[in-house]
A and B are shown apart, each in its own frame.
Chain A
Amino acid sequence: MSGSPARGRVSALLLVAPLFLFLAAFFVWPLAMMIAVSVTDGTVRQVMPETASAIRSWDGSGLPPAQVQEALIADLRAPSEQMAFGDAVRRLNSEVSGFRTLLGRTASAVRDAPPGQPVDLAGIDPRWGEGRYWQALQRAMPNYTDRNLLAAVDLKRDTDGSIAADVSANRVIMVRTFTIAALVTVLCALIGLPYAMIAAASTGWVRNVMLLAVLLPLWTSLLVRTASWVILLQNEGLINKALLAVGIVDQPLQLIFNRTGVIIAMTHVLLPFMVLPIYSVLLGIPRNLMPAASSLGASRLRAFWHVLLPMALPGVASGALLVFMVALGYYITPALVGGAEDQMISSVIAFFATGTANWGMAGALGLILLVTTTALYFVYGRLSRSPNMVGA
C-alpha cells in the first residue's frame, strides 16, 4: 500500500511530462530567447575586440584619440567570420543609417592597404570625421543594451546618455492595436450573446444552421474571408450598390480602407470565438429557470437580467478573452481592408523580423506587447472575480 501512491505520482508525472516538455520547448524557451535577444548586444564587440577596449575610455566628445582609430583599423584587418561581421554591421546600421556602406568601404580599403602603413580613415570616407559614427560604435560595445526596449516605446539615448524622444510611431500603433482589439471584442459580445442565446434556445435544423453559419467561416482561409469583405465593402461593391439602388445614400459610403472596414472584417472573422464559449455555457443552464422566474412574477427583461445573463457571463468572459487575445495579433486583415491609420503592431514586428532581420527590435516590441497584455489580463482577472461583475 505504501508504495502505490508514490508510483501513482511518478506515472502521473510521466503522463504530463510530454506536456511540460512541449511547453518548455515551444513556449518558455522561445519566450526566454525573445527577451534575451531584445537586451543582448555583443555582436560588435565580438568582431572588434581591440576597438572595444580602446574606445571604452573615450569621453564621447569630438573625435576619439588616434589609438581608437588604429584599433579599428587593426580589427578590420584581422580576418573575421563574414556572418558575424554582417551581424555587427546590421546592428550599427540600425542605429545610424549609412554604417553599412561606410564599414563595407572602409573594410575593403583597409584590407587592400599595404600592412604596416598608416591608414587615414577620414581619407577613405569623410564620415569618419563625424563624431556620431564613433559614438554609435562606443554605444554598441557593452554586452547588454536598453536600446531596443527604448526604441519600442519611441525613446532613444542621446549622445550624453540621457533618454530622449525618437521619431517613431510605435506607441501610437500599440495604443491603436489595443483600441481596435477592445472595440472588436465589445462588438463580438454584443452580436455573439444574442446569437448564442437564440441558437441555444432553438432546436432541430434552425440550431444546426445557426451553428454552421458560425463554424463555416472558421473552416475558410482567413485571406479568402478578408478578400470577400473587400468585394462587399468597396465603393462599387455589393453593399454600396444596394444602398444606392434603394436610394438610402446618393454617394457610396467609404466602408473600406479605413477603420470601419477593419472593425467589420475583424468582428466577422473573430465572432466564432465569442459565440462558441457562450453557447456551451448556455447549454448547461437548466431550461426551466426562465419559466420559474416568470412564475414568480418577474418580467421577461427582469428574468433575463437577473437570471440568464449572470449565468451566461462566464461564457462571455472567456469569449471576450479569446477574441481580445487573438485580435491583438492581427495584421493581414488590417493590411488588406484598412487604411494607413489602421495598421496594428504585428505589422511593425513583422517588418523587423522578416524585413530587416533586426530581431532585437522585433523581440523588444513583442516583449512590450506581452507585458502590456499580461498586465491587462491581471486587471481582467481581478474584475471578473469581483462580486458585482458576476451579479451574485
Chain B
Amino acid sequence: MKVTSTLLRIGGAGLALGLMVAGGTASARDLTVVSWGGNYQDAQKKIYFEPFSKKIGKPVLDESWDGGIGVIAAKVKAGVPNWDVVQVETEELELGCADGFYEKIDWAALGGKDKFLSAAVSDCGVGAIVWSTMLSYDADRLKTPPTSWADFWDTTKFPGKRGFRRGPKYSLEFALMADGVKPEEVYKVLGTPEGVDRAFKKLDELKPNIVWWEAGAQPLSLLASGEVVMSTAYNGRLAGINKTEGKNFQGVWPGSIYAIDSWVILKDSPNAKEAMNFIAFASEPANQSKLPEYIAYGLPNKEAAAMVPAALQKDLPTTEANLTGAIALDGAFWVDNVEELTKRFNAWLAK
C-alpha cells in the first residue's frame, strides 16, 4: 500500500499546486484589453494602453481576437471572464447587450452622451472608431477609375477578377446598389424576400469573376499582385498601405458602408471599475485625436474629431465629403438575419 499512498500524496500535492496557481492568477489578473490586432492594435498600444498603464502604475495586458459573439458568450458563461475590455463590431454589441453579456456604461464618467456621435452611444458600449468597407482599386494599374458598384459589376469595361469578402454581409448590400437601388434604400429592399432574391440574382452575374477573401489584409495583397482589378476593402488598411508601402490604392466613398466598433466591458469582469476608467481614457479628445496619425479611422468623440489636422481628415469615413452617398451598416438587420442569409449564401456558393 506504500506505493498507493505515495501516489495519492503526489496527486494531492499536484492538485493543490494546480488550484493555487489557478486561483492566484484569477485574483491578481491585470486589466486585459482585447482588440483587432495588426497595425491598428500597435497604434492603440502606443496612444491608449501604454499611457494608461503609466497613469495607473499597473501593467495593462492586451490580446487580439477575430470577433464572433460565440467567443464572448463562452467567456461570459464561464463565470469570471479572463478579458475585461473588448472592442466589438456593431452586431456583437447589439447581440451581447440584449443578452446581458456586458456591463452597463457609466456615461457620466465619459462626460455625457452628447459628446459622441449618436450612433456611437449605447447602454453597453462606447464607440471607438468609425470604419468603412468600400470599393477599392490600384490607381497605378487602373487608368480609368471606377466610380460605382455598377462599374464593379461591369466586366467588359473593367476586365479582370473582383475581390469580395466571403459572406452575405456587405455582398448583398453592394449587389443591390449595383442593381440600381439607392444607398439609403438598400436595407428597406433587403428587408423583403424579393429584395434578397434580387441581390442574389445580381451576385449571380459576377460570381464567375469573384475571388473571395476572409482576412482584412487579403484584398490588399490581391490588388498588389494584380490578382484582382477591384476589391472590397477596409478604408483604414488602404490608407495604411499607401503610406507604408508607397502604393496608390484608391477607394470610392459613395456607396461605401460605414460601421462603428465599440468598447464594451464583459459582464462580471473583476476589473470592471478600471475597465471603465480605461474606456474614459481612450475616449478623451486629447488621446483619441492621435489615432488618425496612425490609421485612417473616424473618431466618435466629436471634440476629438475636430482636433484632427485637415491633411488627415480626407481619409476618414466621418469627413463630411466622404459621408455623401455612404450608408451605415444596419446592425439590427444582420442580427436578425445573419444565420438564415449565411445558410442561403453557402448554398448559393455551392451551387
Contact = CB atoms under 8 A, between A and B. Distances in A.
A89 interface: yes
Contacts of A10: 3-4
Contact of A173 (B4, B100, B346): B346
Most buried by B among A81, A94, A173, A357: A357
Interface string B326-340: 000000100111111
A90 B99 contact: yes
A16 B207 CA distance: 56
A46 to B, nearest CB: 14
Interface in A335-349: 335-336, 339-341, 343, 348
B339 A97 contact: yes
Interface stretch (A186-194, A234-242, A379-387): A234-242
Contacts of A67: none
A370 interface: no
Interface stretch (B64-72, B172-180, B251-259, B302-310): B64-72
B261 to A, nearest CB: 17
B272 interface: no
Contact of B225 (A14, A172, A236): A236
A77 to B, nearest CB: 18
B226 A340 contact: no
Contacts of A352: 70
B227 A168 contact: no
A219 to B, nearest CB: 23
Contacts of B344: 167-168
Nearest to B341: A97
B339 A93 contact: yes
A228 B7 CA distance: 49
A257 B212 CA distance: 8
A171 to B, nearest CB: 9
Interface in B250-285: none
Given A7-B1, A339-B211, A358-B339, A89 B99 contact: yes
Q: Interface SS of chain A: helix, strand, loop or mixed?
A: helix
Contacts of B350: 169, 172-173, 176, 341
Contact of A235 (B69, B225, B349): B225
A10 B8 CA distance: 12
B226 to A, nearest CB: 6
Given A236-B225, A340-B166, A355 B68 contact: yes
A29 to B, nearest CB: 15
Interface string A357-385: 11100000000000000000000000000
B147 interface: no
Contact of B98 (A89, A166, A339, A354): A89
B70 A169 contact: no
B41 to A, nearest CB: 17
B68 A354 contact: yes
Nearest to B69: A357
B337 A98 contact: yes
Interface in A101-158: 101, 104
Given A83-B99, A104-B98, A257 B225 contact: no
B105 interface: no
B69 A11 contact: no
B101 interface: yes
Q: Interface SS of chain B: helix, strand, loop or mixed?
A: helix
Given A100-B336, A335-B214, A354 B71 contact: yes
Contacts of A176: 350
A101 B214 contact: no
A14 B7 contact: yes
Interface residues of B, number: 48
Given A98-B336, A101-B332, A340-B212, A351 B100 contact: no
Contact of B99 (A82, A99, A168): A82
Contacts of B211: 257, 339
Interface string B88-120: 000000010011110000000000000000000
A87 B98 CA distance: 10
A199 interface: no
Contacts of B341: 97
A356 interface: yes
A281 interface: no
Contacts of B207: 340
A85 B99 CA distance: 7
A86 interface: yes
B15 to A, nearest CB: 11
A210 interface: no
A75 to B, nearest CB: 17
A99 B332 CA distance: 11
A356 B338 contact: yes
Interface string B44-84: 00000000000000000000001111111110110000000
Contacts of B66: 354
A230 interface: yes
B98 A356 contact: no
B176 to A, nearest CB: 18
Contact of A353 (B70, B212, B339): B70
Nearest to B77: A83
B99 A93 contact: no
B332 to A, nearest CB: 6
A83 B81 CA distance: 15
Contact of B343 (A99, A167, A343): A167
Contact of A354 (B70, B212, B342): B70
A94 B98 contact: no
Given A86-B99, A335-B214, A234 B347 contact: no
A342 to B, nearest CB: 10
A262 B337 CA distance: 31
Contacts of B226: 235-236
A227 to B, nearest CB: 9
Contacts of B7: 11, 14-15
A290 B218 CA distance: 52
CB-based closest 6 A-B pairs: A86-B99, A82-B100, A354-B68, A169-B350, A354-B70, A357-B70
14 contacts: A85-B100, A93-B336, A98-B337, A101-B332, A169-B343, A176-B350, A235-B227, A256-B227, A336-B215, A341-B349, A351-B342, A355-B68, A355-B69, A356-B69
Interface of A: 7, 10-11, 14-15, 81-83, 85-87, 89-90, 93-94, 97-101, 104, 166-170, 172-173, 176, 230, 234-237, 256-257, 335-336, 339-341, 343, 348, 351-359
Given A7-B1, A83-B76, A167-B347, 20 more contacts: A14-B3, A83-B77, A89-B98, A89-B99, A93-B336, A97-B341, A168-B346, A169-B349, A169-B351, A173-B346, A234-B225, A336-B218, A340-B349, A341-B350, A343-B346, A351-B342, A354-B67, A355-B69, A357-B74, A358-B339
